[in-house]
Structure formats: C-alpha cells, structure tokens
Structure 1
Amino acid sequence: MITVLKNSQLHPPVRGVHMAWAAASVAAMFAGAAIVGIACGLFSGGERSWVALGVSLGGAISGLGILWYGFCRRLGWSHRELGFLPCTHSLWHLLWWIPLTLLGGGAATGVIGWLFGTEQKSSSIADGIGISPVASVLAAVCGAVVIPLIEEVAFRRILFDWLQGKMPTATAASATVAIFAVMHGIPMVVVYLFFAGTSLVVARLWFRSLTAPFLIHCVNNSVVFLVALAG
C-alpha cells in the first residue's frame, strides 16, 4: 500500500518559476538534440551513427546545462530539493521492479502493436552505431544517464508535484504519465512509455524519492542502447 505525503512534507512546493525552468530544460534538451544532430548529419554526409551521437550529446548537454543553471545555480537547490531523498523502502526491490517494468511494458506494447497491425521500426540509433567505441560509450552515457536525470527531475519531480498540489494524486499521476509519453512522439514508443511511465510514477510515490525512478529509467535506456549496439 502506498502512503502519499503532501509535497510540503517532502520537498519545497513547486511554483511557477520551477515549472518554467523544468520546461526550459526539456525544451533545451529537444532543441539541442535537433540542432547538434542536424549539424553532425551535415558534416558526416548524413551518416546515421553520427546523427545518433549528435542527438545524444546535444540533448544531454543542453538539457543538463539549463537544469543545473536554473535549479542549482539560480535557485540554490541541492540534490534533496531536486528529489533525491533517502528512500523509504530498500532499493533491493528494484531487482524485481525493473524486470517487471521492462517485460510488462514490452509485452503490452507488442500486444497492442499486433492488435493494430503496427510494426515497430528501428530507430536511427539502432540503425547503426558505427562510430568509435569511445563515441558509442559517450552516446550511451548521455542517453542512459544524463537524459533520464533531466526527464526525472522535470516530469516526476517538478511536473508531478505541481499537478499534485492542484488535483488528487491519482489524477496528477495519470496526467504526468500521459504528458511524458506523448512528448516522445513516436507512436509505439508512446504506447510503451504509458506503461513504463506508470511504473516510474508509482516508484516515486512508494519510495518517496526520485532515486528509484531514476535508476529504473537508467536501466531501461541502457537496455535500449545495448539492443542498439547488438543490432
């Protein structure tokens, strides 16, 4: 059973300025990914692996830069205000939580894709990471660690807490899941993220910390990159 505490008992309340910085960090992440990805594509003659590297680097550096400047530099937040409090339950629970999230989301996405006759196409990353091992690791770190950090703070900490202050927790959680999923755009990815996003919000509530959903998110993205490298 999940015991929900009000935001004021865990974190500083989320105000308009916090929402603005969170939105700016997400916007910067998408803009940086697009700009650097296009630039890498132009310089490499459209080589997909270099575009993938540019997308990962551009998104991670731009989004993290705005997140750090807004929350840490301007507002003086530490890791605690960002949501990384001591967990109220052992992180050993992630040993079953993470596989359940990955398998459940993947299975549900596969069933929905089969029902609607939608075939999942490989992403530009999976189409070929043909760059050097160092560049591949760099892209993986950006995509599997930095980008999840940006998204967890922006969505599961700022957006969710802001919504939770205005509506019932279940409604706020549902809205956060929907916004997070739709922001990714690709239909079958959106479907998967409805399931994965639900797991992330529930983890935030149950562990009462951003640490658990962040780790789940990191493992999820790491699996995506491992699949891409294997492909």
Structure 2
Amino acid sequence: MNANYNNINVIGFDADDTLWVNETYFRAAEQEFAKLLTQFETPNKIDQELYKMEIKNLPLYGYGVKGFILSMVEMALKLSNNTVSSSTIEKILDIGKTMINKSVELLDGVEDALKQLSKKYKLIVATKGDLLDQERKLEKSGLLKYFHHIEVLSDKKAINYKKLLSHLDIKPEVFLMVGNSLKSDILPLVEIGSKAIHIPFHTTWQHETVSENSVSTSDYLTLKTIKDISRYL
C-alpha cells in the first residue's frame, strides 16, 4: 500500500492481542472445559458446540470473559442433559475467574512504541469486550498514561467506528487504526476511508477470521510486530 501517514494525527489501538496477550487464555480455557466434560462428548465436539453457543449468545452477552463463562455453563448443561454436577459448574466458574484475574502480559515492544508515538500523535484505545474487564486490564497494563481516550465498543463495524470518530470530532482521513483482526480492526476502517495497520497475532478466534483476499492488500499495511511501526510513523 501507499504507506503515507503524513496526514495522520490520531492513532487508535485495539487492546486484546494487539497490546497484550488474550486469545491464548481462551484457547487454554476451552481445553480445560473439554476435560471437565469428557464423560459426555469428545473434546473436538465439545469445542465445536461451545463455539456455536458463544455465537448464539453474542447478541445477548456481547464479547468478553463473562459471556464466555455463561456459554460454558449453558453448554455443560446441554451436553449433560442437565445432569452436570454442581462441582463441575463451580470448576467452570473458576476457569472464568482465573482468566479475569490473570496478570496482563504486554506484547513485545508495545510500551516503547506507545511512548514514542504519544509524543507526536493523539492515541486512543478502541476495543471490544466487557467494560469492567477491559478497564481492569488497562489499569493493570500500566499503559493508560499514553492514551487520550478509551472506548469499549459493543462491536467493531464501520458504523461503530463512524460514531466513535464523530463523537471525538476526528475526521476519518486523519485516523489510523492498529490491530490484529482483519475483520474488526482493519476492514471497517478501510471502508470508512481511514488508514489501518494489521499486526497479526499467532492465535485468532475463528469468529474473527476472514480471508485476506476479501480486500486488496494495497488498502492496508501488514507488519510482523508493533516495533516495525517506527519505520512508517
């Protein structure tokens, strides 16, 4: 793409798997959940059915750990024909609490990049998930001092970004979004006329996957690590 960012004055960052590790913990939790229910179904089938339950519940619970926990509980009841033990339900709840209480593991180079970029640009966070959980992670991360605004969105479609930029009085053409998800962090910004930098994470929730052929690679820039941003900004 034409990596010219001369007109950019505001940079938005996704949080989970862009600033810190997140999806890795969900994959580990799914494995724990499958082990708890092996008497009822195979691990692969449990994983498939849990994903279907999560997607079904997204309009009700939204994104984040809490909705994930509720979907696990509902799935356990369904797979066991309502015979799952109270101790197993308690263990499922503990899986979720462990996820929420995890320390925040920043991705390599994140703080240095934010420190440098914040000297020249206004930085904001635009992320999905549970409001309380995301606020907690931001506080634990030690990164709050670099951001002018934090926005936890119910979804990350073009209309959500349009509303956010309008609310903050930011023109799309001066806005750059950085994130790991093509579906949530890149394509919607290309659609509204903003710039976008894609930094893939090694693990992606299947709901966030999209074919890279769905948009021309000339419409956004892909980097291996956040540390590479300094070559362009």
- Greater strand content: 2
- Greater helix content: 1
Task: State TM-score, norm by structure 2.
Answer: 0.30
Task: State TM-score, norm by structure 1.
Answer: 0.30
Larger radius of gyration: 2
